[in-house]
Structure 1
Amino acid sequence: MIITIGGLAGTGTTTLAELLSEKLDIPYISAGFVFREMAAEKGMSVLEFSEFAEGNDDIDKEIDRRQAEKAKSADNLIVEGRLSAFFVDNADLKLWLITPFDVRSKRIADREEKSVDVAKEEIITREKSEALRYKEIHNIDISNMDIYDLIINTDSFNPESISEIVTTTLKVI
C-alpha cells in the first residue's frame, strides 16, 4: 500500500502520516526526511545544507526524485510532502489535506511560538513563493486538486477521526 499525503503548512500532514504509520504499521518518509538524508550525505548540518540549497532547483528536484524512487521500491510506504502525489506514480491513495487559513495560522503560530499576525504574513509569503517555484521548476499548479483521490478538511475532524476516514477509504479501494 502506497499512500501520499500532501497539504499546505498547518494542515496536519505530518500528524496524519505519523498516526497512519503507527496504525497501519507502514513506514513513512517526508520531504524533510529526504532533505536531512541529503545533508548527511554532503557532511553538512541541516542549516548548512539549507543555505546550500537556496536558489538551487536541483535540490528540490532530487528530493522529489528520491521520494518517488523510495515509493517505487517499497511495498508499503506513506510519502508525506506537498508535491508527493505528483511524483509517486504508484500510489494507491493520494490525499490532500485542507484547513481554513485562520486555523492554519493559529496552528503554526502555536507550534513556532509566534504571533498569529506574523504567522499569517509568513504563510502568505511562503505560499506565493512555493506556488511560483512549483510552476517554474515542475510546471505544477499546486491549486489543481484533480490528482487527489481524497481531500479532507482537517478542521472538521480530530486526527484520530481523519485516520479512520483514511483507513475506511483504504478498505474500499
Structure 2
Amino acid sequence: MDSYELHSTITEQIRFGEIFLLEDDERRCEWFAKRFKGDELDVSCEVEQAKELLQTRTYDSIFLDHDLMPEHYGATESDDERTGYAIAAFLASRPDLQRAATIMVHSFNADGAMRMVEELRSAGRQAEYIPFHFLEDHDLMPEHYGATGRSEPPAVAGG
C-alpha cells in the first residue's frame, strides 16, 4: 500500500461528528458531503437559518463561507448582515455558544475571510482561514496536522 492509499484509508476512517457548513455553492456542498460521509452535516446558505442551527445544535467543526449570494462575488462594498461575517460576529458575541468547535473560514474572498477570522479571534475564539481550493486540493483537514508533524495548519497568505 503506497502512502496515498494509506492516507485515503485513514481519512475514510476518521469521523468528525457533528459538522456545520455555511455555504451557498452547490459544488462545494457536494464536496463537503462526500468528504464528511458518515458524519452529521448540517448545511445552511442563509444567515438566519445558520443562527438557528448554531443556537440549537452542538457542533464539533464549523466551516464558514463569506460570500453567500451571487451579488457578493467581487463586491466592493461589504454586506455584513447577509454574508458569513454576520455568523462570525454572531459567534464572537456569544462566547459560550459552540465554544469547543473548530472554526474554519474557507472563502475565496480573502479580505472578507480575514475580517471574519479577526472578528472571531478578537473574541478569544480560535479560527483559521484556509481557502476552499486548499481544502479540496490538499485535504487540509484538522486530523492531518498531527499526521504530518505539524501542530497547526500550514500558513496561508494573509492569515
Q: TM-score range, shorter-chain basis? A: 0.3 to 0.5
- Of structures 1 and 2, the one with the larger relative CO (CA 8 A, separation 6+) is 1
Question: Which has the larger helix fraction?
Answer: 1
Task: Give the TM-score normalised by structure 1.
Answer: 0.37
Larger radius of gyration: 1
TM-score, normalization by structure 2: 0.40
